[in-house]
Amino acid sequence: MFGWTGKLLHVDLTRGTCERREIPTEILHAYLGGRGLGVRLMRDFFRLDPFDPEMPIIFAVGPLCGTNSPTAARLACVSRSPLTGTIYDCSAGGRFAWRLKAAGLDAVFITGQSDRPVFLAIDGARTELLPAGALWGKGVKETVASLKERGSVTAIGPAGENGVLFANIMMGEGNSIGRGGLGAVMGGKRLKAITVQGEGTTPVADRERFEAARGDVMRLFRASPVIFGELGISEYGTPALVDLMAQRRMAPTENFRATFFADSGNYSGPAIKRECGAKKEGCYGCPIQCKKASAQGEALPEYETVNHFGALNGISDLHAIVRANSLCNELGMDTISAAATLSAFGEARGRFPDPTEVATLLADIACRRGEGELLSLGSRRAAEHLGRREVSMSVKSLELPAYDPRGAYGMALAYATSNRGGCHLRAYPISHEILRKPVPTDRFSFSGKARIIKIAEDVNAAVDSLVACKFAFFGATLEEYGELLTAVTGVEYGPELLKTIGERIYLTERFYNCENGFSRADDTLPERFFTEPGSGGEGIDVPPVDRERFSEELQKYYRIRGLDENGSFGGRNILEEIP
Amino acid sequence: MRDQIDKYMGKLLADRSACPDGIAFAAQDDVLITAGAPGLAELAGNTLSRLNSLALVAARPSLPFADFLIARTDAEEECIVPQDTETRTFLHDIPFLRQKDLSGDPAPVLAKLLGNRKGVIVEGVGIVAVGAITVEQAFINYSSVFHSTFVKYLQDVLADGFRLPGEREAFEAFRSQWLRPLSAAGLDFVPSLPGDKEAILAEIERVGRYTVERGLVDSFFGNISAVAGELIYISQTAASLDELKGCIDPVPADNSSTTGITASSELLAHRKIYEQTGSRVILHGHPKFAVVMSMLCDRKKECSIKDCWKDCPHVRDLGGTPVVAGEIGAGGLAKRVPPVIGASGSAIVYGHGVFTLGREGFGEAFATMVDVENFCREEYFRRVEEML
């Protein structure tokens, strides 16, 4: 078999067993890998509580991993989110994914709960569960340093150990499996870390076709101003978006009460480069290298993080923002949810935290002490506890990232329809509404957006299953990645077939969510966006989102998806209709 | 979406790439709609309904070049491989369906082909192109296929002459009837571009519109800029040159702001041209004859370079305009054009398009582009006559 290994490592932490199992070829062909494979493997478990010991947590690579397909050294981590209650996946890059494939695995399926802290060590065909008592309570850096001799490391920090609902799983090279709290799921299993090394290679079915497709992808990367342009993400990282979002008047500010922060220039891409000596870093094997590190090697914050620890909390001090980012990474917490929860807390009590208090509160959240105990539950639960449900700027309990939906109506719809809650990456309409890729669309119009969002959700589900980085699609398309996939696997995949696979994955996720009680009532935005305007200026008006048009477009979306008016399947069991 | 269909149907009529009675669109949101020539509209609808895309155009090109290209291919071939940079970069190749292989409803097989590529030629029917997320995208892809087949056919005629019945007559009709004299006559330009923002934006918008109206681009792509003090005003990526209002980015020369991340992919080339020439404005289009002629090279037989479009280190000459290789964006064009463009005020990029300069305003840049294209047009027909 080309592209896939056909093997899954099944780990039962309760019994302390590890065994390699076959993955049916037809499942690999139908779901590819990564997110798709993980979602498919959840079929018998999606109803379990996220903290049920039997709830699996799955790490899955894709068929392109292990080749030099651009941006494809990635994996998806899949489980059920304790923060949102939805099915959950997160894509992460780095050497870990590459080595997992090199160890001969398409996926690691971890279930059960250990009675003591352990870490999973994978070294080629050899697998062990080893004591991690000495590591329990340690930060991410120390944990990774302790285990680095065993290869690539992914680990949780104190936040994951303590069950913070937005705890991350941190990759040793600085990437993170973020947002939905899968670090807490891992912590609940008393699994501190996974190490992996392997020497295997991924054979390519048609090398000549592969090189041609790779050349096409790279040509499109070079033609994309967002990727390799002199003001693009390769040069400045995602903070290249700070100035643009400010200019477009859609940078969430002071818990989304405003959409413009006058001091955002303090943490723009050029400012970070100047003040922190930002140098290029990135995921293993990725030509874009959009991550940035300081001259001292410290990971520098992404766009979402600088905006949320900046404008969202009224903080303009770049170095304070960098410190907050580093602290979250060390404690193993999601920066978007952490900053947004602090912001909601700030609005509820009438005062946003200053930089010093931010650091204190982050540590308290990770350790679940003092006010941190409440804030560790995320903004929705914290706001409800405070009697101020309206200050949680979240969808399905997932805190919204740094694109105000009043400034991009496709984004507004996509937040609502996202299967994992308020996430920008499911449909990523910022690509066309703001960055003009592949073609521009009118950001202040709902026209056509239901269909566009549906298509983009399908496309991105396929992308997350290849697994490739979404930033690659600021230049390339499924046409070129379909060619890469065909060349690697020897199985013909074109863009339309990949979209069909993406649709299958998306509907499966939606079905899981509906079975767990999600419906139309959850597919909406916080009330603020329908009633309060954003910060207009420089000829740009940012009115509230038109509730009626939003609802109309949502119903269109349901019809396009084949759902009923409630956004549900109307008694249909789609799992019986798909592989 | 009906307004979008009307808009792009109008653009196909205006640029004369499609026959007025042979244009149809289909688009789908929660319902499928079609418009235009009935037979083609039915085909468009039946095809789009099988695709996970938003829009589709099916139109009969105003020139028979695409059909000729199919008829000139060997029986076992299934696609045309364009040589020009723009279409190769974005289309890769263009599949086709032969008339003899069409039986019954062609929509299923057409949908299958469009499931892999942006545009398809159906012999005797027309060009069918899909727009994944907008109607505009379908229009762009149609235009790209039209441009690509135009360029390739002219190249092939120059290389191999006429091979089919009716080709010579069609070619003559194209030359005498379809082509129109190209000039800058009747266009107004600000002689010396002032420094204030509003005046600059207005002039860029106007010249962008001229560039499309005079057919100096494929669909509406190209880019345009002016420098004023420490700012470069440049059209945004994927912007319609004939609709630039609100689509021009002011980019600081010192990169102190990244709002220009949405600027044209040729921002770097523009910046370096300004640095090396001291010019005031830059115009970049894709005039067809310049694209065709830029790919002619007398040394191809003895040259070891295969990917001429990106690897050729030589500076060739077309009527006093230098011709250089280089990929678009960050791929080399920005290195090779700036050093050569200053002397003549123009440069042609192999298989791609033309850059021209204006020292005071766009009048000079526009006139230079017209001159370059007219020279290439005349030279092309001179060579065709010589060859035949």
Cβ within 8 Å, pair B255-A441: no
Write the pLDDT tens digit of every residue in B8-57. 999 999 999 999 999 999 999 999 999 999 999 999 999 999 999 999 99
User: Measured between alpha carbons, how far apart are the two ends of chain A, in Å?
Assistant: 20
Sheet holding B231-235, edge to edge: B248-252, B231-235, B223-228, B281-285, B353-358, B346-349, B321-324, B316-318
Instruction: Looking at chain B, list the stretches that DSSP marks H as alpha helix, in order from N- to C-terminal side.
Output: 2-14, 38-48, 65-72, 85-91, 107-114, 135-160, 167-173, 197-213, 267-277, 288-294, 308-311, 333-344, 362-387
Q: At what angle do helices A495-515 and A449-466 cross, to 10 degrees?
A: 100
- Beta partners for residue B263, in sequence order: B236
Q: Please check whether residue A214 lies inside any domain of the structure.
A: no
Give residues 224 to 253 of A whose Cβ lies within 8 Å of B. Answer: 224-226, 228-232, 236, 240-244, 247
Query: Of A342, A377, A399, which one is at a domain's C-terminal end?
Result: A399
B261 neighbourhood in chain A, CB within 8 Å: 225-226, 229, 231-232, 240-241, 243-244, 435
A537 and A423, same domain (yes or no): yes
Does A241 sit within 8 Å of B258, measured CB to CB?
yes
**Judging by beta carbons within 10 Å of its beta carbon (0-12, 13-18, 19+), is residue B100 exposed, middle or buried?**
exposed
Nearest chain A Cα to B140, which residue?
A: A439
Chain B CB contacts of A495 below 8 Å: 115-116
Look at the block and give the residue holding tokens 């903070």: A239
- Which of the 8 DSSP states describes residue A573? -
Please, what is the average pLDDT of chain B? 95
Question: Shortest Cα distance from B281 to chain A (angstroms)?
Answer: 20
The mean pLDDT value for A197-210 works out to 97
Residue A477 lies inside a defined structural domain of this protein:
yes
How far is the alpha carbon of A268 from chain B, nearest alpha carbon, in Å?
8
Q: Is a pLDDT exceeding 90 seen at residue A185?
A: yes
Give the integer Cα–Cα distance in Å for A312 and A568: 34
Q: Are residues A156 and A264 in the same domain?
A: no
Q: How many angstroms separate the CA atoms of A516 and A524, rounded?
A: 17
Portion of chain A with pLDDT greater than 70, in percent = 100
Average pLDDT over every residue of A452-473: 98
* pLDDT at res. B221: 85
Q: Which of residues 112-131 of B touch A (CB under 8 A)?
A: 112, 114-118
Residue A570 lies in a domain: yes
What's the CATH number where A530 sits?
1.10.599.10
The CATH number of residue A35's host domain is 3.60.9.10
Alpha-carbon distances of A182 from A71, A164, A177, A241, rounded to whole Å: 23, 10, 8, 27
Query: What pLDDT, on a 0 to 100 scale, did the predictor assign at position B301?
Result: 85
Residues A395, A412, single domain; the answer is no
Q: Which residues of chain B neighbour A236 with C-beta distances below 8 Å?
A: 258
| Structural domain count, chain A | 3
Residue B330 has pLDDT above 90, yes or no: no
Distance between CA atoms of residues B7 and A443, nearest Å: 19
Residues A428, A377 share a domain? no
pTM, two decimal places: 0.97
A 10 A CB-CB count for A277 gives 13
Query: Rounded to the nearest 5°, which phi and psi values hold at A98?
Result: -60, -45
**What confidence score (pLDDT) does residue B298 get?**
87
Contact B328 A216 (CB under 8 A): no
Q: Chains A, B: CB contacts under 8 A, how many?
A: 156
Mean pLDDT of A492-517: 98
**Is residue A39 in a domain?**
yes
- Both A260 and A184 in one domain: the answer is no
pLDDT band at A99 (very low <50, low <70, confident <90, very high): very high
The three-state secondary structure class of A119 is: strand
**For range B349-373, the mean pLDDT:** 97
**CA B339/CA B359 separation, integer angstroms:** 16
- Is there a domain that residue A465 lies in? yes
User: With contacts defined as CB-CB under 8 Å, which chain A residues touch B4?
Assistant: 448
Domains of chain B: 2-178 (3.40.225.10), 197-387 (3.40.225.10)
Cα distance from A338 to chain B (closest Cα, Å)?
A: 27
Residue A54, token pair as written in the block: 């039997």
Specify the pLDDT at position B96: 98
Does the pLDDT value for residue B102 go beyond 90? no
CB contact under 8 A, B255 and A230: yes
Residue B300 confidence (pLDDT) = 85
Q: Which of A197, A225, A246 is the last residue of a domain?
A: A197
Could you list the residue range(s) of the whole structural domain that residue A366 is in?
Answer: 235-399
- CATH number of the CATH domain containing A239: 1.10.569.10
* Tens digits of residue pLDDT in A330-372: 999 999 999 999 999 999 999 999 999 999 999 999 999 999 9
Share of chain A above pLDDT 90, in %: 97
Which of 141-160 (B) contact A at CB < 8 A?
A: none
Between B239, B247, B265, which is nearest A229 by CB?
B265
Mean pLDDT for all residues in chain A: 97
Alpha carbon separation from A295 to A267, B258, B373 (Å, rounded): 17, 22, 50
Distance from CA of A116 to the nearest CA of B (A): 49
Band the pLDDT of B252: cuts 50, 70, 90: very high
Q: What angle do CA A550, A551, A552 make, to 5 degrees?
A: 90
What is the distance between the alpha carbons of residues A344 and B232, in angstroms, rounded to a whole number? Answer: 41
Q: Residues of B numbered 308-327 whose beta carbons fall under 8 angstroms of chain A's beta carbons: which are they?
A: 327
Q: Is residue A287 part of a domain?
A: yes
A428 and A548 inside one domain: yes
Distance from CA of A287 to the nearest CA of B (A): 13
Contact B52 A455 (CB under 8 A): yes
Q: Are residues A138 and A283 in the same domain?
A: no
Alpha-carbon distance of A192 to A194, in angstroms, equals 7
B197 touches chain A (CB under 8 A): no
Query: Same domain for A547 and A467?
Result: yes
**A384 and A465 fall within a common domain:** no
* CB proximity A267 to B under 8 Å: no
How far away is chain A from the Cα of B332, in angstroms, using its nearest Cα? 9
Report pLDDT for A311. 98
pLDDT in tens, B117-135: 999 999 999 999 999 999 9
CA nearest to B127, candidates B152, B150, B96: B96
> Are A42 and A146 in a shared domain?
yes
> Does the CB of B262 have a partner CB in chain A at under 8 Å?
yes
Residues in A closer than 8 angstroms to B255, CB to CB, are: 230-231, 270
Q: Identify the pLDDT of residue B2.
A: 92
Q: In the listed set A141, A176, A197, which residue is the last one of a domain according to the structure?
A: A197
* Residue B130 DSSP SS3: strand
pLDDT confidence tier of residue B218, bands split at 50, 70 and 90: confident
pLDDT band at residue A173 using 50, 70 and 90 as cut-offs: confident
The b/e string for A219-239 (b: 16+ C-beta within 10 A; e otherwise) is bbbbbbbbbbbbbbbbbbbbb
Residue B219 reports pLDDT greater than 80: no
Q: Do A428 and A569 sit in the same domain of this protein? A: yes
Looking at residue B86, its pLDDT comes to 81
- Per the domain annotation, does A212 fall within a domain? no
Same domain, A374 and A417: no
Each residue of A58-74: pLDDT tens digit? 999 999 999 999 999 99
User: Is B330 close to A222, i.e. CB distance below 8 A?
Assistant: yes
Q: Kindly state whether residue A207 falls inside one of the protein's structural domains.
A: no
Chain A touched by B167 (CB under 8 Å): no
